[in-house]
A and B are shown apart, each in its own frame.
Chain A
């Protein structure tokens, strides 16, 4: 499984995936000052929520690359032939995806905070929230990718499947900025639930796509 995590992680960074996610995230964050004008007070008030919304959209980007290519190229078949549990394979993919997209995203959030004129303590809460929330986002992304792996036009549907399920993360993540520690606890609980449930869902979805 470590070999699998390593392989997926290498692919995540090698395909320019991390750069794309970060660029997209920053672009969305930059759109807001353009859209609502250079009102520093307003921007710093909504900035935390903007970062969360941008993170959610950025997490959607790599969904098409997470499972479908491995299903097509027979990699998942070969793992199954070797008796690997598909839920464990999905868990490995989640870990690799999280390692590939969370650290760059958290770094980019610092830049976005500068663009949105976020105060330091808000940035700290946003970063803590991202640290707790991104595992849930990664789990959701892999589960979505597995569910849509066999489908045509998966990229367009991915948002419709994933974003509603990510709403709790967004609510508690953005809520933690004003709500403090209790918000972070709820965020962590939501994230944990997704991380615990998603491998089983993704494993079953991959099995169904294979047969």
Chain B
């Protein structure tokens, strides 16, 4: 275990496909923006970094302190109120302080007022922010965000940037796959 995320000549495979090798290092406080056209393996790369994809060749060294993944699936129970759905994951991640963590994360993504609303009634953008709240509440060191800007309005995009900046200032690492231009200062661009 080190403090940085090290990706060394990593070849991601998905089904029969093998994607081209990737190498980068993200130190504490670092951010990596993975860009490239659709179907080039951005999401598959993030899944491998999260530990649930298949590695063809190469190596990944994850930093100590946990991983949080946000992909297109929000992984929240549709029938539960938003706050309870988030607390399910927070209890697994940071058991004793899950309630306060979730409340703080909801405030971070401006969803506090919707904490009692069932997840199925949320709009696409609100679900996206809820998934982001799940990542924030996890307290993980490494954030892996798949198209974090999708379905977000301008205000929510600003909030996303602010959250990323805060996470990096605390020594966190962010890797995001995106086709939108995201202006994160000092972020390394990796083009697939």
Chain A residues with a Cβ under 8 A of chain B: 3, 7, 11, 14-15, 72-75, 77-78, 80-83, 210-211
Indicate which residue in B53, B69, B78 contacts A78 across the interface (CB closer than 8 Å). B69
List the A residue with the shortest CB-CB distance to B52.
Answer: A80
- Assess whether B75 is in contact with A75, with CB atoms less than 8 Å apart: yes
Known: A81-B68, A82-B92. A74 touches B54 (CB 8 A): no
| B window 60-82: CB within 8 A of A | 67-69, 71-79
State whether A73 touches B52 (Cβ < 8 A): no
Q: Could you say which of B51, B54, B74, B88 contacts A81, with CB atoms under 8 Å apart?
A: B51
Instruction: Write out, one digit per residue, whether chain B residues 83-102 have a CB within 8 A of any chain A CB (1) or not (0).
Output: 00000110111000000000
Q: Tell me the minimal C-beta distance from B29 to chain A in angstroms.
A: 22
Report Cα–Cα, A3/B93, bound state, in Å.
Answer: 12
Contact A74:B71 (CB < 8 A) given known A11-B79, A211-B54: yes
* Across-interface contacts of A11 in B (CB, < 8 A): 77, 79
Q: Closest residue of chain A to B79, judged by CB? A: A14
Chain B interface: which size bin?
20 to 34
- Give complex CA distance A75, B75 in Å: 5
Given contacts A77-B52, A210-B52, whether A3 and B92 have CB atoms under 8 Å apart is: yes
Assess whether B114 is interfacial by the CB under 8 Å rule: no
Cβ A77 vs Cβ B92 within 8 A: no
Asked if B53 and A211 make an inter-chain contact with CB atoms under 8 angstroms apart, the answer reads: yes
Q: Which residue of B lies closest to A77 (CB)?
A: B52
Do B50 and A81 touch across chains, with their CB atoms under 8 A apart?
yes
A74 touches B51 (CB 8 A): no
For A80, what are the chain B residues with a Cβ–Cβ distance below 8 Å? Answer: 51-52
- Which B residues are CB-close (under 8 A) to A7? 77, 88
Give complex CA distance A61, B91 in Å: 31
- Measured CB to CB, the closest approach of chain B to A57, in angstroms, equals 27
A-B CB proximity, top 6 nearest: A74-B73, A74-B75, A78-B75, A80-B52, A81-B50, A75-B75
Q: In the complex, what distance in Å separates the CA atom of A41 from the CA atom of B47?
A: 62
- Which residues from chain A contact B79 at a C-beta distance below 8 Å? 11, 14-15
- Using Cβ atoms and an 8 Å threshold, which residues of chain A touch B52? 77, 80-81, 210-211
